[in-house]
């Protein structure tokens, strides 16, 4: 059996498939982001750390001095607490009446406020528990998702001041989210920054003095646009760049940005066989062998996260790109390994790299995003729980 994978971290013989997560790459990406901003960096670990494993990434981030973690859901914050995390965490996607919100207050999690109901509910938790919940008020500066609308912002801020003075919550942050942060010189971003600056004036006029001011995401940090906004941020929220994926190709790919993709997805061939000319492959026979061909069965499919809609995707086998042919199925897909006299010693058990950093010729997550007409975020985040994560610390430059 061929046991050499196409990364410097060989697959264990008994493993069907795995996502190898290079923690040294995560650390290098965090340092790249720190070097690009004067503000503290919040590492966003929502959606299971963008598919990389929230607990493992959080622990590693804390080990290298990251003071803030960000998640969307209160349940994600509580899972980190359950795993032993004791540092600052912000959770921002609340819905009315969630029991998790109460538990977040009790377990020292900061909460994002995007509507008046959330402010009142959190204040009520403060009254009932005697705790002092910490909130980050979010203003919608133009993205049109979460955040208090500009017309309601002054009213919310005044109410927050009353509740703070009552001693039932503390306003420790003000924030918003960008629509086009990855676009250099974006007028949309410039307009959002102006609205945010006005929102900060409202906060200042109300006598609130939040410590944490944050608007920039990975894209805005990497393109430096935050330096032209005219107000000082004390925190930046960095998600996808932490994992070595470009926030947007307008900025360049990962390599151009000095980022190191942290995830390598690999699997072992389950079957290798020769088929004659005219033999079809997978549902609907979208591919038919034009000549005798050796096929390889890769035991990964759309249930594991491979996008069924990918057009002409490739993988790396024994140092050479090989196409995936026919439809990607739920649990498996098929590779064209070439003519019988071209296959060499490829056999069942041979390791295949689906994507990785690209340093050895393998496709990257960004390549897969292009083939599926999506973004790198989706490729890594959708890798499912049937694929175990293995954590290493590589030393490649």
Close Cβ partners of 227 (under 8 Å, ≥ 6 residues apart): none
CATH fold of 23-243 reads TIM Barrel (3.20.20)
CA 247 to chain centre: 10
Between the alpha carbon of residue 250 and those of residues 10, 247, 259, 357, 380, the distances in Å are 34, 9, 15, 19, 20
Which residue's entry shows tokens 């175990």? 388
Average pLDDT over residues 296-318: 98
- Dist. CA 307–CA 376, nearest whole Å: 12
Query: What is the band of 153 on the pLDDT scale with cuts at 50, 70, 90?
Result: very high
Q: How many helices (H) and strands (E) does the chain have?
A: 12, 19
**112-139 in b/e burial notation, b at 16+ Cβ within 10 A?**
bbbbeebbbbbbebbeeeebebbbbbbb
Query: What is the band of 286 on the pLDDT scale with cuts at 50, 70, 90?
Result: very high
The stretches of 167-270 forming alpha helices (DSSP H) are: 187-205, 218-223, 254-257
CB atoms within 10 A of CB 360: 15
CB atoms within 10 A of CB 179: 16
Per-residue pLDDT tens for 17-36? Answer: 999 999 999 999 999 999 99
Could you tell me the maximum CA-CA distance found in the chain, to the nearest angstrom? Answer: 80
263-392 has CATH 3.30.470.30 classification: no
pLDDT over threshold 80, residue 397: no
Read off φ and ψ for residue 348, nearest 5 degrees. -55, 130
Task: Please give the pLDDT value at position 227.
Answer: 85
Measured over the CA atoms of residue 146, residue 151, residue 153 and residue 159, the dihedral's sign is: negative
The percentage of the chain sitting over the pLDDT mark of 70, rounded to a whole number, equals: 97
Q: Sort 93 into a burial class: Cβ within 10 Å, 0-12 / 13-18 / 19+.
A: middle
pLDDT over threshold 70, residue 395: no
Task: Please give the pLDDT value at position 68.
Answer: 98
- Dist. CA 214–CA 175, nearest whole Å: 5
Read off φ and ψ for residue 212, nearest 5 degrees. -105, 115
pLDDT over threshold 90, residue 350: yes
Average pLDDT over residues 286-299: 97
Q: Which of the residue ranges 66-70, 78-82, 192-196, 390-394 would you say has the lowest mean pLDDT? A: 390-394
Per-residue pLDDT tens for 159-192? Answer: 999 999 999 999 999 999 999 999 988 999 999 9
Task: Please give the pLDDT value at position 6.
Answer: 40
- Dist. CA 18–CA 345, nearest whole Å: 22
What does DSSP say about strands 293-298 and 17-22: parallel, antiparallel, or unpaired? unpaired
Average pLDDT over residues 187-208: 97
Domain boundaries, the chain: 23-243, 263-392
Same topology between domain 23-243 and domain 263-392: no
Q: What is the Cβ-side half-sphere exposure of residue 68, based on CA atoms within 13 angstroms?
A: 22
Per-residue pLDDT tens for 31-72? Answer: 999 999 999 999 999 999 999 999 999 999 999 999 999 999
Task: Please give the pLDDT value at position 14.
Answer: 83
As annotated, the active-site residues are 46, 283
Q: Which of the residue ranges 63-67, 74-78, 88-92, 182-186 would you say has the lowest mean pLDDT? A: 182-186
What value does the mean pLDDT of the chain take? Answer: 95
């Amino acid at each position: 059996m061929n046991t050499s994978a196409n990364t410097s971290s060989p697959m264990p013989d008994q493993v069907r498939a795995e996502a190898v997560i290079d923690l040294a790459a995560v650390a290098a990406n965090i340092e790249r982001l720190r070097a690009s901003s004067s503000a503290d960096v919040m590492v966003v670990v929502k959606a299971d750390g963008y598919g990389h494993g929230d607990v493992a990434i959080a622990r590693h981030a804390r080990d290298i001095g990251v003071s803030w973690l960000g998640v969307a859901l209160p349940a994600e914050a509580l899972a980190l607490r359950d795993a032993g995390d004791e540092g600052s965490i912000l959770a921002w996607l609340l819905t009315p009446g969630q029991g998790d919100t109460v538990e977040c207050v009790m377990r020292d999690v900061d909460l994002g406020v995007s509507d008046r109901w959330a402010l009142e509910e959190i204040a009520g938790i403060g009254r009932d528990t005697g705790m002092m919940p910490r909130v980050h008020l979010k203003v919608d500066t133009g993205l049109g998702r979460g955040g208090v609308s500009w017309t309601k912002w002054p009213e919310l801020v005044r109410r927050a001041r009353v509740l703070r003075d009552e001693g039932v919550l503390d306003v420790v942050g003000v924030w918003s989210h960008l629509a086009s942060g990855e676009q250099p010189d974006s007028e949309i971003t410039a307009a959002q920054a102006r609205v945010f600056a006005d929102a900060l004036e409202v906060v200042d006029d109300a006598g609130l003095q939040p410590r944490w001011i944050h608007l920039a995401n990975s894209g805005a940090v990497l393109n430096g646009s935050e330096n032209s906004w005219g107000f000082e941020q004390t925190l930046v929220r960095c998600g996808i760049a932490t994992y070595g994926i470009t926030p947007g190709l307008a900025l360049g790919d990962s390599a151009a940005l000095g980022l190191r993709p942290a995830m390598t997805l690999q699997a072992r061939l389950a079957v290798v066989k020769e088929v004659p000319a005219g033999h079809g492959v997978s549902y609907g026979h979208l591919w038919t062998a034009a000549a005798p061909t050796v096929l390889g069965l890769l035991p990964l499919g759309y249930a594991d996260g491979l996008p069924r809609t990918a057009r002409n995707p490739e993988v790396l086998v024994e140092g050479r790109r090989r196409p995936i042919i026919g439809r990607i199925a739920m649990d498996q897909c098929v590779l064209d390994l070439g003519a019988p006299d071209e296959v060499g010693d490829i056999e069942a058990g041979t390791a295949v790299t689906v994507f990785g950093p690209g340093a050895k010729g393998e496709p990257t997550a960004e390549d897969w995003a292009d083939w599926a007409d999506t973004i790198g975020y989706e490729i890594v985040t959708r890798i499912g729980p049937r694929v175990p994560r293995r954590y290493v610390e590589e030393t490649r430059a």
